[in-house]
């Protein structure tokens, strides 16, 4: 009986191994795909591309695409993505800039001053050739993107901004859209390339670079207007996510300072958030989150950049925080937002401790 089990086990292992090998052989390689990519570009755009870089993912089965190709038309670089095994799928973002610019011009004609436009659907197949009418193009090919328009120093709490928001709604091509107003063109450059598919919850991450936002996210939400009251204390910036219509904690009742009462890391000092708010009628019952922005200049450790859900983060560093100086700390991803590292903690009522540590 044992010999039978051994034989069956060996057969299963051999079968699995051969299956994996067969699967790997079925995955097309660059030498097989490069002529297809060249032909794809020639057929769609009428020029022979120059291939500048070719990156193949190690685990293509878990992704829609397995090959990421940087190509050039002689002047501009763009990306081609290749996926599939027997049925090869090729898409590209060559016309992305033209689509963005036409979106921006459309918004600018309704609310002058638009500096950037973004949609989170950037790659199109060979049949999806841009016609020059951005909304007709999206409707024809069932493109249903999240849309963001960025302005500089533009009030968003009046009728003018609402007119643009209603015009987006009437297009019928999206149910996730935002208008963002930044304090400067430099700030707008930092935030413009983010689709903010989560609406207000995503925009909060960029609070030091955003003055106001006007958003709508799926049929389950109302239109949301927010002003971002970012303040500074002891070198940190912070944003208090209070309920709509409620004032943030006064400066004289709030603080962030170094502490030796709780040592979370040898790498970076431990700080304590002290929120001594006296008016707690609604505040204590609300789910308040405090977003802390640490200037990168305060972090001595060299940052290795990575991504977390398509957002830039430190892959070698994490935030650690706790409300109990003797308790086990909680770890959180350290997002990198412009010149800041960002994370969120509770309101600080009763004290909240945080630091930065090396990722394990």
Q: Helices 96-110 and 159-171, interaxial angle, to 10°?
A: 130
Both structure tokens of 109: 């004609």
Mean pLDDT of 65-86: 92
Percent of the chain with pLDDT over 70: 84
- pLDDT of residue 10 exceeding 80, the answer is no
Alpha-carbon gap, residue 174 to 60, rounded angstroms? 30
Secondary structure letter of residue 61 according to DSSP = G
Query: What does the pLDDT read at residue 168?
Result: 93
Domain around 130: 96-227
Q: Are residues 187 and 249 in the same domain?
A: no
Mean pLDDT of 139-164: 93
Domain count of the fold of the chain: 3
Last residue of a domain, one of 202, 227, 252: 227
Q: How far is CA 44 from the centre of its chain?
A: 30
Q: Are residues 85 and 135 in the same domain?
A: no
Last residue of a domain, one of 76, 92, 108: 92
Q: Are residues 242 and 176 in the same domain?
A: no
Percent of the chain with pLDDT over 90: 49
* CATH code of 50's domain: 3.10.450
- pLDDT of residue 62 exceeding 50, the answer is no
Q: Are residues 273 and 330 in the same domain?
A: yes
> Cβ(103)–Cβ(117) under 8 Å?
yes
> Cβ(241)–Cβ(267) under 8 Å?
no
Query: What does the pLDDT read at residue 58?
Result: 65
Secondary structure letter of residue 60 according to DSSP = G
Mean pLDDT of 284-297: 78
Alpha-carbon gap, residue 163 to 146, rounded angstroms? 18
327 or 51, greater pLDDT: 51
Q: Are residues 112 and 82 in the same domain?
A: no
Task: Tell me which residue of 219, 197, 236 sits closest to 319, measured CA to CA.
Answer: 236
- pLDDT of residue 245 exceeding 80, the answer is no
Query: What does the pLDDT read at residue 278?
Result: 79
Last residue of a domain, one of 92, 109, 125: 92
Q: Are residues 210 and 156 in the same domain?
A: yes
- pLDDT of residue 19 exceeding 60, the answer is no
Task: Tell me which residue of 292, 318, 120, 114 sits closest to 207, measured CA to CA.
Answer: 292
Q: Are residues 32 and 86 in the same domain?
A: yes
Confidence grade of residue 244 (pLDDT, cut at 50, 70, 90): low
Query: What does the pLDDT read at residue 15?
Result: 44
Query: What does the pLDDT read at residue 308?
Result: 82
Both structure tokens of 329: 């700390």
Alpha-carbon gap, residue 196 to 218, rounded angstroms? 13
**Which of 2-6, 118-122, 245-249 shows the highest mean pLDDT?**
118-122
Residue 34, classified by CB atoms within 10 Å of its CB into exposed (0-12), middle (13-18) or buried (19+), is middle
Residue 244 CB contacts under 8 Å (≥ 6 apart), including other chains: none
Q: Are residues 50 and 126 in the same domain?
A: no
Alpha-carbon gap, residue 258 to 273, rounded angstroms? 9
21 or 335, greater pLDDT: 335
Q: Are residues 74 and 139 in the same domain?
A: no
Query: What does the pLDDT read at residue 209?
Result: 95
Query: What does the pLDDT read at residue 105?
Result: 98
Secondary structure letter of residue 215 according to DSSP = E
Please, what's the largest Cα pairwise distance for the chain? 82
DSSP, collapsed to helix, strand or coil, labels residue 33 as helix
Q: Are residues 115 and 67 in the same domain?
A: no
Torsion of CA 159, 162, 163, 164, to 10 degrees: 140
Alpha-carbon gap, residue 16 to 5, rounded angstroms? 16
What is the phi/psi pair of residue 198, to 5°? -90, 10
Confidence grade of residue 18 (pLDDT, cut at 50, 70, 90): very low
Q: Are residues 67 and 123 in the same domain?
A: no
What is the phi/psi pair of residue 246, to 5°? -105, 145
**What average pLDDT does the structure give for the chain?**
85
Q: Are residues 237 and 222 in the same domain?
A: no
Residues 291, 296, 298: CA angle, nearest 5 degrees: 95
């Amino acid at each position: 009986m044992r010999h039978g089990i051994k034989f069956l086990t060996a057969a299963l292992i051999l079968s699995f191994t051969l299956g994996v090998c067969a699967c790997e052989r079925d995955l097309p390689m660059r030498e097989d795909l490069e002529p297809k990519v060249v032909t794809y570009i020639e057929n769609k755009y009428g020029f022979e591309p120059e291939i500048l870089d070719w990156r193949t993912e190690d685990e293509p089965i878990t992704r829609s695409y397995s090959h990421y190709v940087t190509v050039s038309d002689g002047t501009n670089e763009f990306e081609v993505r290749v996926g599939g095994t027997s049925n090869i799928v090729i898409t590209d973002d060559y016309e992305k800039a033209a689509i963005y610019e036409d979106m921006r011009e459309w918004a600018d004609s309704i609310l002058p001053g638009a500096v950037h436009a973004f949609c989170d659907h950037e790659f199109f197949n060979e049949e999806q050739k841009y016609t020059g009418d951005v909304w007709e193009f999206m409707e024809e090919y069932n493109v249903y993107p999240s849309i963001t328009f960025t302005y500089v120093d533009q009030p968003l709490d009046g009728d003018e901004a609402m007119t643009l928001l209603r015009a987006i709604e009437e297009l019928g091509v999206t149910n996730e859209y935002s208008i963002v107003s930044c304090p400067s063109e430099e700030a707008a450059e930092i935030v413009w390339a983010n689709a903010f598919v989560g609406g207000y919850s995503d925009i909060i991450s960029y609070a030091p670079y955003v003055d106001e936002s006007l958003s709508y996210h799926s049929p389950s939400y109302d239109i949301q207007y927010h002003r971002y009251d970012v303040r500074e204390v002891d070198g940190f910036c912070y944003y208090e996510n209070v309920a709509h219509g409620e004032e943030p904690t006064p400066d004289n009742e709030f603080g962030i300072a170094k502490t030796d009462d709780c040592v979370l890391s040898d790498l970076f000092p431990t700080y304590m958030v002290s929120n001594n708010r006296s008016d707690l009628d609604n505040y204590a019952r609300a789910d308040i989150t405090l977003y802390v922005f640490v200037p990168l200049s305060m972090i001595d450790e060299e940052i290795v950049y990575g991504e977390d859900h398509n957002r830039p983060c430190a892959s070698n560093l994490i935030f650690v925080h706790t409300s109990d100086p003797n308790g086990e700390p909680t770890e959180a991803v350290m997002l990198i937002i412009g010149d800041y590292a960002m994370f969120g903690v509770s309101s600080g009522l009763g004290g909240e401790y945080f630091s930065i540590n090396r990722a394990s």
